[in-house]
Structure 1
Amino acid sequence: AAARPQTLGEPVAPPQAGRDLMLAVDLSASMGEEDMVIGRRVVDRLTAAKAVIADFLDRRAGDRIGLIVFGQRAYAMTPMTRDRDSVRQ
């Protein structure tokens, strides 16, 4: 208040179009089973799931995405966010 903040023009609101999506990824021991194929290479289920999720995230511009992982217990890894790179990490 002492600095007398002032507004120059109308506030600009970012676009809010998009969906709210929550991804749930299984991290149980069964995900280590090598029965999936990517290209011509046999990989475990988790590696295949990561490849599908990466492709999915590339197509979700404007959406808020969260991530839950589970095995014996569920954990929220990322809250709903528009930062797809943090979800990918």
Structure 2
Amino acid sequence: MSSVEGLASGNPFIASDVPGLTEVVEGAGLLFEDNNENQLAELNLKLIDDKYYNSEIVGKCMVRAKKFDMIKMTKEYFNFYKELSLK
């Protein structure tokens, strides 16, 4: 959940491209190759230097975070388990 909170924070979200985080960030925040501090630094510099890019990433992050809304996810899980029980 901390990654979702990061996406919803109103700041650009950057994470390692590792299983779990990759799926949560998916096309919204920025991913860097695991253990590649140079790539992480480049992403940070681009966000600092390009305010339009920064705003674009923040907007995508906010939209992506809404996908993980607790009420929405609870309903989806409920419906999923309900379908499984009918099979």
Q: Shared fold (TM-score greater than 0.5)?
A: no
Higher relative contact order (CA 8 A, sep 6+): 2
Could you state the TM-score of these two structures normalised by the residue count of structure 2?
Answer: 0.28
Could you state the TM-score of these two structures normalised by the residue count of structure 1?
Answer: 0.28
Structure with greater helix percent: 2
Larger C-alpha radius of gyration, 1 or 2? 1
